[in-house]
Structure 1
Amino acid sequence: MYKVKSKNKIHTMFYVFFVLLILIIFLSFNYYAKSLEPVSSMDKKPINIDIPSSSSTKNIGEILEKNNLIKNKWIFLLKVKTLDNKAYLKAGNYSLSKSMDLEEILNALIEGGRSGNTISFTIPEGYEIKDIAEKLEKEGLINLDKFLILVSEKENFEGEFSFLKHLDKEQSLEGFLFPSTYEVYENHSEEDIIRKMLEGFEEIYIKDIEKNLKNTDFDLNEIITLASIIEREAKLDKERPTISGVFHNRLKTGMRLQSCATVQYILGERKERLTDEETGINSPFNTYINEGLPPSPIASPGEKSLIAAIRPADVDYLFFRLADEDGSHTFTKTYKEHLNAAPKK
C-alpha cells in the first residue's frame, strides 16, 4: 500500500513538473516573440542615436534599450547570434523609431548609418517660413520647392509630433519651426531639417507651454499666433511681457490689436510706415480691420516671446508706440496719452 502511494506521489510530482516545464517554455517563447515586436507600433517619431565605432553588440543593445527602441537588450543579443556571420552591425548615426520591430532595427544597423560629419545652421527669431526656406537654400541645405511643400501642411508631420494635432486641418507649420542653432548630418534631407526645428519647438512646448495652457483662455494655435506677433513687435526682451499684456487687454475688451506686423505679413515685406490703404487690406490676417487674433502665426517666435504670450505682465496699458532708436516703447492707458507720446528725437 505504501509503495502504491509513493509511486502515485512520484507520478503526480512528475506531472506537475512536466506541466510547469511546458508552461515555462510557452511563457519564454511568448516573451521572446513579444520582445521582437515594436515598442510602440503607433509611435513613428524619429529617434536619432549614435553608435560609436568599436561598439560591442552589448553596447549597441544598451544604447537601443536606453532610448526605448527595443524591449530587452538580452533578447537583442540573442537575436544577433542568429544572424549570418557576414552580417555586421555598423557604427554611425541612425534615425529609428519605436514603431520598428527588432528585425527592422537590425536591418538598419546592418545597412549602416550616416557618417559623423555635421553641418550647423541658425534660424533667427521672427523669421517667416519663406525667410527660413530662402536662408537654408542660400546655404545649400535644401531644395526650396520641396521644403515649402513639406511645411505647407501640418499633416505631413502630424504622425510624429502630437502637438500638431491641436492645429486646424491643413494648417502650415508657420510659427512652429523653432528658431535656434541646429546640427544636421551632411547627407540630410529636407525632412531631417524640419524635424530638427519641430523637435526644438516640442522641447519648449513641453517645458513652458503645455502645462500653462489650462490657465489661459487660448488654445495652442492662438498662443503661438500671439507669440509670433509679440516677436515681431518687440525689440527688447524686457518689453515682451508688457507688450503681451497690452495685447491680452485689447483681446479681453474687444479692441482690435492693430499690429503693424500682421499687415507686414500680408504685404510680404517689413515697412517702417504703413499707408491707410495698406492697413485697410481685406485679409483675415489684418488686425486693423478684424477683431481678435489672425487665423495662424505670422512668424517663428523665440522662447522669450512664447513665455510672454502665455505669461503676460499684469498691466493696464492698451497702447504702445516706438519711443527710441534702441527699440524701446512708450506704454499708455488712453488713446489721448498714446497720441501725445511722441518718439524721442
Structure 2
Amino acid sequence: MTQTIEGSKKRRKKPILLYLFIIVLVIIAISIISFKKFVDNQLQPMAVENIKEIQIVIPKGTSSNGIAKILKDNNLIRNDLIFSLFAKYEKMDGKFKAGKYVLNNGMTQEEIMRKLVAGGVEKDSVTFTIPEGFELKQIAERLSEMGLVDKNSFLELTSKVSNFSSEFDFLKDVPEELSLEGYLYPDTYEVYTDVSEKDIVKKMLSRFDSLYTDELKAKAEELDLDINQVIALASIIEREGRVDSEREIISGVFHNRIKVGMALQSCATVQYILGERKPVLSTEDTLIDSPYNTYINQGLPPGPIASPGIRSIEAAVNPADVDYKFFVFNEDETGTHTFSVTYDEHKKAKNRIQNKR
C-alpha cells in the first residue's frame, strides 16, 4: 500500500515538473523574442525623413566604446552599448579608423560601421560667422566674398520657402511666397571648402530648427502668434535693440502697440525697404508704399526683415509687462533707449536727446 502511494506521488510530480519546464521554456522564448525586437529597434536609423548630414571627428586612439559614445552624442545611433556589442558580433571592433566623417541620421548602424572601417575623409574646412541682424543679401555677400557661394545662385535658392519646406517641417507654416529671410540662423559654422550653396542653407536652417524649441512654440501659441509672426517680430527687435537687457522691453512696446491698434513705426522696417540703414529717416521715407512699411501699415510686416538671434526670438514671445508704447535711442555709448508711456513723454525724451548733440 505504501509503495502504491509513493508511486502515485512520483507520477503526479512528473507532469508538474513537465509543466514547469514548459513554462520556463516559454518565458525564455518570450525573453529572447523581446530582446531581439529591442535590439532590432536599437539598430534602426535615427530618422527616415528630414535626414541631416552630421560631421564628426574620431580622435586617434579612441576605443570602440568611445566611438559609440561620440555617435550617440551626435544623435547618429540610439544605443552606444548595442553599437559596441554589434561591432563585436560583426567582427568590426578594433577596425574603426580615426578621422573626419560626414555621416547622416538616416544611416543604419551597419552602414555607419562600414564607413568607420573604410576611414574618414580628409577635406579642407573653413569657418564663417553670420552676425545677428544680417539680411539675406548680406549673408550672400559675405559667403560670396569667402568664395563659398555664387551670390546670385544663393539668393535664388533662398528666394522661396518652398525650396526647403519639404525638408524642414517648421517651414510648412511659413507663407510660400516668402523667402528664407529670418530663418538662416546667425551663428559660426564650419564647412568643407567644396560645400554647395544648398548644403550651407540646410546647415543654417537645421541650426534654426534646433533652437526653435517646443517651449518657444508653446509661448507663441499662448500669444496667438504663428512662427512667421514670431520671427518677423524677433527680427525687428533684433534690429531695434542693442543691448540684451532691453529686448523684452522693446518686445513689450510692440505688443502694446499691436493690442491698441497703433502702427509699430519701426525705422528698421523702412531701412529694409530702402536697402540701406539710414541713421535718420525722412518723412518721405516713412511714407514709402510697401507692406513692410510699419509707419503706414498696422501690425507686423508680411515676414522677417533680418536674421534674429535666440535672445530676440525669446524676447518676441516673452514681452515685458510694461505700459510703454514709445522708445527712442539715447545716442550714447551705452546703446540704451528711453522708454515712455505717452507721446508727450516721448517728445520730451527726443528733445532732451537732440539737445545733447
Q: What interval of TM-score do these two structures reach, taking the shorter chain for normalisation?
A: 0.7 to 0.9
Alignment match, 1:216: 223
Q: Indicate if the aligned counterparts of 2:127 and 2:191 stay in contact, CA closer than 8 A.
A: yes
| 1:125 matches 2:135 | no
1:129-155 per-residue CA deviation (whole Å, 9 max, x = no partner) reads 110110121122333234334433344
Q: 1:331 aligns with which of 318, 334, 339?
A: 339
**Structure 1 stretch displaced more, 239-248 or 59-68:** 59-68
Q: CA deviation at 1:316?
A: 2.6
**Structure 1 stretch displaced more, 135-144 or 186-195:** 186-195
Query: CA 1:73–1:227 in 2, change beyond 3 Å: closer, same or farther?
Result: closer
Q: 1:206 aligns with which of 200, 213, 224?
A: 213
| 1:136 matches 2:132 | no
1:273-318 per-residue CA deviation (whole Å, 9 max, x = no partner) reads 3344433332221112211100111011233333332233333332
Q: How many residues were matched structurally?
A: 344
Unaligned runs of 5+ in 1: none
SS in 2 for 1:115: coil
Alignment match, 1:283: 290
Q: CA deviation at 1:54?
A: 3.2
SS in 2 for 1:261: helix
Alignment match, 1:242: 249
Unaligned runs of 5+ in 2: 1-6
Measured in 2, the distance between the counterparts of 1:257 and 1:243 equals 11
Q: Indicate if the aligned counterparts of 1:120 and 1:182 stay in contact, CA closer than 8 A.
A: yes
SS in 2 for 1:172: coil
Q: How does 1:33-52 map to 2 (within 5 A)?
A: 33-42=40-49, 44-52=51-59
Measured in 1, the distance between the counterparts of 2:129 and 2:41 equals 43
Query: CA 1:79–1:289 in 2, change beyond 3 Å: closer, same or farther?
Result: same
Query: CA 1:240–1:16 in 2, change beyond 3 Å: closer, same or farther?
Result: closer
Q: 1:197 aligns with which of 187, 197, 204?
A: 204
Measured in 2, the distance between the counterparts of 1:17 and 1:241 equals 64
SS in 2 for 1:298: coil
- Please provide the CA RMSD for this pair: 3.7
Query: CA 1:203–1:33 in 2, change beyond 3 Å: closer, same or farther?
Result: closer
Q: Name the % identity.
A: 48
| 1:303 matches 2:314 | no
Measured in 1, the distance between the counterparts of 2:323 and 2:16 equals 88
Q: CA deviation at 1:228?
A: 1.0
Q: Indicate if the aligned counterparts of 2:45 and 2:105 stay in contact, CA closer than 8 A.
A: yes
Alignment match, 1:254: 261
Q: 2:240 aligns with which of 227, 233, 253?
A: 233
Alignment match, 2:175: 168
SS in 1 for 2:56: strand
| 1:273 matches 2:280 | yes
Q: Indicate if the aligned counterparts of 1:54 and 1:91 stay in contact, CA closer than 8 A.
A: yes
Measured in 2, the distance between the counterparts of 1:167 and 1:282 equals 24
